[in-house]
Amino acid sequence: MHDAHDALARAGRAIRVVVLIALALLFLVPFYLLVRNGLATEREITSPDWTFFPHELRWSHLAEVFQDPGLPMGRALFNSAVIAVSTTVGTVVLASLAGYGLARIPYRHANVVFYAILGTLMVPAAVTFVPSFVLVSSLGWISTLRGLVIPTLFSAFACFIFRQYFLGFPQELEDAARVDGLGYWRTYWRIVVPNARPVFAAVGTIVFIGAWNAFLWPLVIGQDQEAWTVQVALSTFTTAQNLNLHELFVAAAVSIAPLIVVFLLLQRYIVAGVERSGIDD
C-alpha cells in the first residue's frame, strides 16, 4: 500500500514536471520567433517551407537596426530608459510616502482619502486622457521629459500595495525609533525603507515594466522624433510603405531585452513583495 502511494506521488510529480516544461516551451515560442526571424532573410521569413533556424544567422541585422536613418533606435532606447527609471523612482517614492502616511500617521479622514485614491482605479484612463493632454499642452510640455514623466508619477495601485504592507510592518521597530527621538520622516527613511526592500523592489519592477511598455501617452506627447520612446519607434514599422520584416523582429527583440534583464534580476522580489503586502488580507 505504501509502495502504491509512493508510485502515485512520483507519477503526480512527473506529470507536473511535464506540464511545466510544456508551458515553459509555449511561453518561449514568441522569443524564439523574434530571434529566428530577426536573424533570417526576408525570403526565409515568408517562405512556406519552415526551418527551425535560418541557414545562415545574419548578425549584421542587429547593426542595421541602429544604422537605419528612419528609425532612431539608439535615441529611442535612451528615452525609454530615462522615462522608465524616472517614472519608477518617482512613483515608488511618492506612493510609498502616501502609503506610509495613510497606514501610520493618525488622521481622522485617512480612510476617506484612501478610498478616494482607490476610487481613481475605477476611472477609465480614456476619461482623464484628454484633460491630461490639454494640461500638459498648456504648460508647454509637449515633446519634453516633464510631459512624459510627471503626469504618470502617482499610481493608486502602488499606493495601495504600500499601505497594505505598512499596516503589517512591525510596530515595535517604529516605537524603538521614536524612543530614540526619531519622527515620522526619519523613521520612514532610517527604519522602514531599509526593512521594506522586497516590496520596494516588487513595486519598482512592476512600474518599470509598465513605463517601458507605455505607448499611447508617449505617442501623443512625444511628437518630435527626438522624444520617441522605443515603443513609438517600433510602431513606425506598421505605417511604413515598405515593411522590413527582419528589422522589425530585431528591433522588437532589442526592445524587450532590458525588461528580461530587470525581471531576471528582481523576479524573486515580486512574489515576496506582494506576499508581504497583505494584499490577500
Q: Do residues 111 and 147 both lie within one domain?
A: yes
pLDDT-derived band at 2 (thresholds 50, 70, 90) equals: low
Structural domain for 243, as ranges:
69-276
Q: Do residues 145 and 35 both lie within one domain?
A: no
Q: Do residues 205 and 258 both lie within one domain?
A: yes
CATH number at residue 134: 1.10.3720.10
Assess if residue 220 is contained within a domain.
yes
Q: Do residues 172 and 100 both lie within one domain?
A: yes
Q: Nearest 5 degrees, angle CA 201-CA 202-CA 206? A: 115
Q: Do residues 47 and 76 both lie within one domain?
A: no
CA separation for the pair 264, 251 (Å, rounded): 21
Total number of domains in the chain: 2
Q: Do residues 31 and 79 both lie within one domain?
A: no
The type of residue at 246 is: H
pLDDT tens-place string over residues 60-100: 888 888 887 778 888 999 999 999 999 999 999 999 999 99
Q: Do residues 192 and 227 both lie within one domain?
A: yes
Assess if residue 98 is contained within a domain.
yes
pLDDT-derived band at 43 (thresholds 50, 70, 90) equals: confident
Assess if residue 64 is contained within a domain.
no
Assess if residue 63 is contained within a domain.
no
Q: Do residues 231 and 270 both lie within one domain?
A: yes
Q: Greater confidence, 39 or 276?
A: 39
pTM of this prediction? 0.84
Assess if residue 281 is contained within a domain.
no
H helices of the chain, in order, are: 2-38, 42-46, 60-67, 73-104, 110-120, 125-138, 145-149, 156-167, 171-179, 184-187, 197-213, 216-221, 230-239, 245-276
For position 270, what pLDDT does the model report? Answer: 67
pLDDT at 274 over 60: no
Burial class (CB in 10 A: 0-12, 13-18, 19+), 151: middle
Q: Do residues 139 and 254 both lie within one domain?
A: yes
pLDDT-derived band at 136 (thresholds 50, 70, 90) equals: very high
